[in-house]
Chains A and B, each alone.
Chain A
């Protein structure tokens, strides 16, 4: 046993724990989080996905002692009571069936859009391919990712281009 400090969704936690304990069990059983879930314990399905330093990782096979950086879970995606555009897109597209895998779908999609805000269909399929869903909601997951990408893009301030007005709105005016 040893003290391990984890920063999760903006809060810092120090736990006296076996260092090899997979991160998933600490998040769920010590910190009481319900987003990440146990699906396979083998890193094959994605149910346990959390984001560490911007990358989607499988917390079921990640020893707590090897976590270097801030952890974001599904619970940490919303800010100021507002759902993340991905979560909103998931509701708008009514994506889940049972919903058990959707933590993995949303967190993997988050890491994808953070790196590639406008993924092509083939990139979505490839990036999401190791994140499984036994209800087979894949078709809607892919639709919702595209919807979220549009919402995120629409919310971004448009970069001014030299010689052109700063936004489409001004052009219209």
Chain B
């Protein structure tokens, strides 16, 4: 299992030694055949880029070398090396499916190694649901090229032209005489392909061979079980948290008790006599304690006496005043409005105008375990064992942060708790590396629960005002969308100057990242519309736990909550069925984009309505006297080219205000489906993540610190919240018969996006009460019901 599940430490050294030795030394391939047909590019004696700087232990892998992607073994199996990490969606299994199809080898004769910077080419790791959409393409092309090269080699070996050869499961045979055969392993095992690929960057790199048409893919479209799961259920997987090295010590951070606090004193005598104590390490406002054992470090970090000075002014408003603050604050930036038609003229002719304002608070990534990393400073190098989803970015960040040549730094990616983008801006890697260099021993760092929940990156709060004008026939003729996000100084990917330890040590960018707001993602034909976004800043932007980062479709859930709630409000104002109201706006257009998103939007609406059994009627339902009120809500959105429509059926308890999503239905179109089972699971969990954000999640704070510090004060979805039934329909709504080879689009983020609005719309349908503030906690819903005298 190990080869399939990241690189557990006990095999990592072996693998690394083998891999590096292979890439450096095994240039033994003798090209003994003509390199003419098909433009075969062979470099029998080409200098491998990995030997360019022999003194550097970890040079970059050359993405233009076929050997960087694929190794064929003597036993006629293959290992694929990809520059991606898996956050829990099973992408490694899907890459194996696509690559084994292109290589013409059975899925179960392959393995996939992911995301370690000295073993795999830099494809950026994970993020943005790009695994299948963008990053599977160079993998497929490399595998196709390997197949082509092997056919050329077999042609020489078997004395038959390539077009007279057939390939099946890594065996090449002469069509006319199948007894003449040779395996991939016999052709190349133990040696390098030494084939150059071309292309300006890793995303476009290609060989000469073309990828197969979809109809010829065999494993793709099937659902082989995910290869990482067995070791996750029998306890054998070595995770990043499990790394243990000789002489390793444990560190724990001592976080400032207030945002923007200045460290004025450390009393080391408060912990010096504790068992296992090694030392306190500190610079600027960053403080950590190092001990021999983990529980000793935890105790010492808690017990260390430190003194801090509060900032002169409050770093932020209290969470209950956040939206008033956002309303009153002058934006730091504003986007150029997207304008169609003449919105104000249309409003002046409208028969009915409605207006609403929606509020989404800061929500945490709140990964299931705190940030963690183990760093080994041996031999003047730095190896970081990490679950960072962007391991390549961490390598660069750590190297710059420490002032080390990046060729002396590597990140070994291993599995970890899903963070929905948290590990793109991982903090523990730089911390572990810095402390390891300070103490000269391998160091393991892990954040505690309160530290992670309070100080992780946050999804920005949004305040969205929307105004709509209906004509006398109930058509939406004027639409004005204005979003304001609290997103100034959005943290990037492992940036050495914005990672928290750097901020605490005093690093300041001349200009913080501008941040962004977002406009709705829908294909409605609205003749006159204006959409604009603004960003506001909190009073302070550095050394604050309210630092924003990318959380699973950054900004999409917030803007979609507002936009799709408002469409529902318009439908109710027009006394129209909310599905039909949307469909009319989709059908009113006559043009579409290159990916047919409008037609595919109509298709997912049709599919979700059919799967649910939607009966057309306006919302809300007629008033009921029952204690449990039921309703259904619909919402839709797209992310990139992935289009999603969802229906939620909820029960609202009139006595308690509790909302339970009893049934969820999703129609999902992401083009080519590689592994339907993995995709369904990904969609299912993304929907439930959306549900969690809809009903539970909110970061709370007073004017100097975060008060959400654990699973009680920042609650998450629980077993009792799980729906009774979830239906997922995988739609291929592409109307163009000339596109039989639909590309795969992204999954994982799009399915979260509409859920908040679907729940809000269902609550409205059940109760007639519109909840415009996330999350729909029991007390908030109950107060709204009471205010409406329900």
- Residues of A at under 8 Å CB distance from B? 1, 18, 21-22, 25, 28-29, 32-35, 37-42, 44-45, 47, 73-75, 77-78, 83, 87, 90-91, 94-103, 106, 121, 124-126, 128-142
Contacts and interface: CB of A to CB of B under 8 A. Distances in A.
Question: B-side binding surface: helix, strand, loop or mixed?
Answer: loop
Interface stretch (B99-107, B223-231, B585-593, B607-615): B223-231
Contact of B717 (A1, A100, A130, A136): A136
A133 B717 CA distance: 8
B369 A100 contact: yes
A74 to B, nearest CB: 4
B233 A132 contact: no
Interface stretch (B65-73, B404-412, B571-579, B720-728): B720-728
Interface of B: 87-89, 225-226, 228-230, 232-239, 241-242, 244, 275, 293-295, 298, 366-369, 415-418, 446, 448-449, 677-678, 681-682, 684-685, 688-689, 691-692, 710-712, 716-724, 726
Given A47-B369, A97-B418, A97-B685, A102 B722 contact: no
A134 B367 contact: yes
Contacts of A78: 234
B244 A32 contact: yes
A133 B368 contact: yes
B710 A44 contact: yes
A128 B236 CA distance: 23
Given A96-B88, A99-B415, A136-B689, A73 B366 contact: no
13 contacts: A21-B295, A28-B294, A34-B236, A37-B241, A40-B449, A74-B234, A75-B234, A75-B236, A83-B234, A99-B233, A125-B722, A129-B719, A141-B719
A47 B370 CA distance: 12
Contacts of B230: 91
A77 B625 CA distance: 50
A141 B685 CA distance: 12
B242 A34 contact: yes
A125 B720 contact: yes
B229 A135 contact: no
Contacts of A130: 718
B723 A75 contact: no
A77 to B, nearest CB: 8
B716 A134 contact: yes
A156 to B, nearest CB: 22
Given A21-B295, A25-B293, A98-B418, A41 B368 contact: no
Given A140-B681, A141-B719, A39 B368 contact: yes
A36 B368 CA distance: 13
Contacts of B295: 18, 21-22, 25
A171 B314 CA distance: 79
B719 A135 contact: no
B367 A99 contact: no
Contact of A134 (B238, B275, B418, B678): B418
Nearest to B228: A99
B229 A90 contact: yes
Contacts of A132: 368, 711, 716, 718
A22 B298 CA distance: 11
